[in-house]
Amino acid sequence: MNVIEAMKNRISTRAYLDRPVDKETITRVLEAARWAPSGVNTQPWQVAVVQGDRLKQLSEAFLQRASEGVKPHPDYDYYPGEWTDPYKKRRFQCGMDLYKALDIGRDDKEKRREAALNNYRFFGAPVSLFFFMDKRMGKGSWLDMGMFIQSVMLAAREYGLGSCPQASTADYPDVVREKLGISAENLLLCGMALGYADESHPVNRYRTVRESVQAFTSWHE
């Protein structure tokens, strides 16, 4: 697949086919992504590939925490404590468009809650990747991790896979580390649902609106 095509066609896939992804394909995706850049070649990324019964166990543990009202306690703040425009407006529009794709009314709190909990079911994906980084690393390594994670998503497109990066599946990092035997010295950055997209599902036809190049670029000559 052409790189530009992969970048433009990548979406956050939120519905998957009941079709397994073989280990060889996942390995090929990670083999390509490992060439992502990193400061002085530190390569800070660590990946846990979770499938089958272990994925089901994680899903059940997440849903149990949520049902018990346990407040998410991620290893870091993904979002700002207070939203301001234009980010507040974009966030609102993103949510409204997603609910419209799912045919969920603005006042239907129960369906909205169920849609949110679907994050903890990995949207039905057969695979979840969890991305970790040694907590001793500096802020530059966060940039490296972002480039690596994007590389994973683009490589997935080459093999016909859909993906969805998920901050939500890092809501309970203690659960993930316990279930997977990961050291507390490693920060959990996010998860990523991975699998074959259900192209017939309306949610996978939902698209976010992006700003024009002119809106975020200044030229200096």
Q: Would you place residue 50 in the very low, low, confident or very high pLDDT band (cuts 50, 70, 90)?
A: very high
Q: What digits encode the pLDDT tens for the residues 152-163?
A: 999 999 999 999
Residue 10: what pLDDT? Answer: 95
Cβ neighbors of 29 (< 8 A, separation 6 or more) are 152, 155, 156, 158, 159, 161, 194
Residue 107: what pLDDT? Answer: 86
Question: What number is the average pLDDT over the span 45-70?
Answer: 97
The CA angle 156-90-216, to the nearest 5 degrees, is 80
Residue 185: what pLDDT? Answer: 97
Domain spanning 3-79+120-205: CATH 3.40.190.10: no
Mean predicted lDDT score pLDDT of the chain: 96
Neighbouring-strand partners of residue 130 = 48, 191
Residue 37: what pLDDT? Answer: 98
Residue 172: what pLDDT? Answer: 98
Q: 117 pLDDT exceeds 90?
A: yes
Q: Would you place residue 53 in the very low, low, confident or very high pLDDT band (cuts 50, 70, 90)?
A: very high
Report the range of poorest mean pLDDT among 104-108, 180-184, 188-192, 206-210: 104-108
**Which of 155, 201, 191, 190 minimizes the C-alpha distance to 55?**
191
Q: 1 pLDDT exceeds 90?
A: no
Q: Would you place residue 66 in the very low, low, confident or very high pLDDT band (cuts 50, 70, 90)?
A: very high
Whether the Cβ atoms of residue 188 and residue 76 lie closer than 8 Å to each other: no
What is the model's pTM? 0.95
How is the beta sheet containing 186-195 ordered, strand by strand?
A: 46-51, 127-134, 186-195, 162-166
Residue 208: what pLDDT? Answer: 93
Q: 4 pLDDT exceeds 90?
A: yes
